[in-house]
Amino acid sequence: MNQFAPLSIARNYSFASSTVAVLRRQSFLIRALGRGIHHKVDSTIGSIMQETEADAVSIIRAITPTLDPTRHKGQAGRIAVIGGCREYTGAPYFAAISALKIGADLSHVFCTKDAAPIIKSYSPELIVHPVLEESYSVREEERKQVSVKVVAEVDKWMERFDCLVVGPGLGRDPFLLDCVSEIMKHARHSNVPIVVDGDALFLVTNNLDLVHGYPLAVLTPNVNEYKRLVQKVLKCEVDDADAHGQLSSLAKQIGGVTILRKGRSDLISDGDLVNSVSIYGSPRRCGGQGDILSGSVAVFLSWAHRDSVAADRNPTILGCIAGSALLRKAVSLAFETRKRATLTTDIIECLGRSLEDISPAR
């Protein structure tokens, strides 16, 4: 079945101010809550589900905005990454720079004070906010006050963001994760789409209410993160013989969030259809590819939510399909020349060509 047939998106749309963007996201929420679920009975296994290889190329072409000289800075997307701590500075950088390379106008990183100068030194393109604090730097009696300050620092920007990526290189410090929980609640209150990755998946797996029932949330688990989610939510082990059915049940149990299960094929579901993206990437599994994916999904989510997508297609799903396909194509381009030496930075360098081959800039 051609999943893409009913989709029509006006490519020449005009971008809206952040307030209008918020209203649009609200109207999507209303549509998402009212949307019916279409099932097909798979008679061979008797379970109710649908699956399909997504027509990713058409989806990317449809949701990538044209480069319009009348637009101003910010209208092609403002992304924020919440992540970066003493141990990890690469992951938030990979996510944030990928968003810019794909076409977002502005990319922010909210990280700990230790991580900020390092991330800034990787690139002058990123707007880096040294606002997060870990337990070791805050006395017990100051925690409440510091937490309020941290959340306020992010909150003053919140309405301007088209998407948050929470988790790449965040670490697992309990105080830091408490602050990030509050940031996620504020993002949800402002109807900002959230891509939950890396250590934020650890946080969310233990605090499902943070995303339960929020259709603008995307979880992007790798093999370990998926296993933990399945064990926690479905109270069983991962069953690869019923990969699609299990993914669909998991998304449904978390109230219709979208899950992008990373692997040999990326599987994407909001509890309704299961879409797969199997474009060949490479046999190289260097760390950081998931971070590129989170930045890529964030950009396509922000584009997909900007205009009226087909009423019966979830723009969050479309953003995930586009983000996954673009990354996988970039991986294959990087591997063509770099082979075993392929690194995350090589893949990032191929993001532009990957998109250009599919949706040329005019």
Ligand X SMILES: NC(=O)C1=CN([C@@H]2O[C@H](COP(=O)(O)OP(=O)(O)OC[C@H]3O[C@@H](n4cnc5c(N)ncnc54)[C@H](OP(=O)(O)O)[C@@H]3O)[C@@H](O)[C@H]2O)[C@@H](O)CC1
Ligand Y SMILES: Nc1ncnc2c1ncn2[C@@H]1O[C@H](COP(=O)(O)OP(=O)(O)OP(=O)(O)O)[C@@H](O)[C@H]1O
Binding residues for ATP are: 262-266, 281-290
Question: Under 8 Å CB-to-CB from 8, ≥6 apart: which residues?
Answer: 62, 310
Q: What are the angstrom distances between the C-alpha of 326 and each of 67, 149, 186, 254?
A: 18, 37, 30, 27
Site track 192-211 with Mg ion (rule: CB under 5 A), x = hit: ------x-------------
Closest distance to ligand Y from the beta carbon of 221 (Å): 8
- Which regions of the chain does DSSP assign to beta strands (E)? 50-53, 78-82, 106-112, 127-132, 163-166, 194-196, 217-219, 258-261, 266-269, 273-277
The smaller minimum CB distance to ligand X, of residues 149 and 227, is found at 227
Site stretch for ligand Y (CB under 6 A), options 26-34, 99-107, 247-255, 323-331 = 323-331
**Least Å distance between CB 46 and ligand Y?**
29
Size, binding site for ligand Y by CB under 6 A: 17
Contact between 90 and 119 under an 8 Å Cβ cutoff? The reply is: no
221 is an interface residue for Mg ion by CB under 5 A: no
Is 230 within 8 Å of 218 (Cβ atoms)? no
Q: How far apart are CA 268 and CA 250, in angstroms?
A: 11
Could you please report the per-residue DSSP string of 35-52?
Answer: ------B-TTT--B-EEE
Helix-strand-coil percent breakdown of the chain, rounded to 5?
50, 15, 40
- Total count of residues recorded for the chain: 362
Q: Which residue is nearest to Mg ion (CB)?
A: 290
Q: Of 104, 116, 230, 327, which one interacts with ligand Y (CB under 6 A)?
A: 327
What's the gap between Cα 117 and its chain centre? Answer: 25
> Does 144 engage in binding with ligand Y (CB under 6 A)?
no
Residue 266, contacted partner among Mg ion, ligand X, ligand Y, none, CB below 5-8 A by kind: ligand Y
- Pick out the residues of the known binding site for (6S)-NADPHX: 169, 222-228, 291
Decide if 262 contacts 293 (C-beta within 8 A).
yes
CA distance 161 to 48: 37
CA distance 145 to 129: 19
The minimum distance between CB 265 and ligand X, in angstroms, equals 19
Q: Which residue is nearest to ligand X (CB)?
A: 90
Q: Examine residue 291 and tell whether it contacts ligand Y (CB under 6 A).
A: yes
Query: Residues 91, 260, 292, 347: which binds ligand X (CB under 6 A)?
Result: 91
> Which tokens belong to 29?
């929420």
Element (H, E) at 206: none
Options 183-191, 211-219, 229-237, 262-270: segment touching ligand Y (CB under 6 A)? 262-270
Instruction: Pick from 139, 144, 264, 340 the residue near ligand Y by CB under 6 A.
Output: 264
Six-digit token string for 52: 């399909």
For residue 263, the partner it binds in ligand Y, ligand X, Mg ion, none, with Cβ less than 5 to 8 A by kind, is ligand Y
Applying CB under 6 A, which of residues 206, 287, 353, 361 lies at the interface with ligand X?
287
Under rule CB under 6 A, residue 321 binds ligand Y? no
Residues 157-176 that bind ligand X (CB under 6 A): 168-172
Of 67-75, 84-92, 140-148, 305-313, the window that binds ligand X (rule: CB under 6 A) is 84-92
Q: Cα–chain-centroid distance for residue 326?
A: 13
- H or E stretch covering 87: none
Token representation of residue 205: 């797996």
Answer for which of 324, 342, 354, 359 binds ligand Y (CB under 6 A) is 324
266, 291, 307, 346: which one binds ligand X (CB under 6 A): 291
Q: Binding of ligand X at residue 198 (CB under 6 A)? A: yes
Residue nearer to ligand X on the CB measure, 271 or 290: 290
- Measured from the CB atom, the residue of 172 and 185 that comes closer to ligand X is 172
- Report the C-alpha gap between 260 and 268 in whole angstroms: 4
- Per CB under 5 A, residues contacting Mg ion are 198, 290
- Per CB under 6 A, residues contacting ligand X are 88, 90-91, 168-172, 198-199, 222, 224-225, 287-288, 290-291
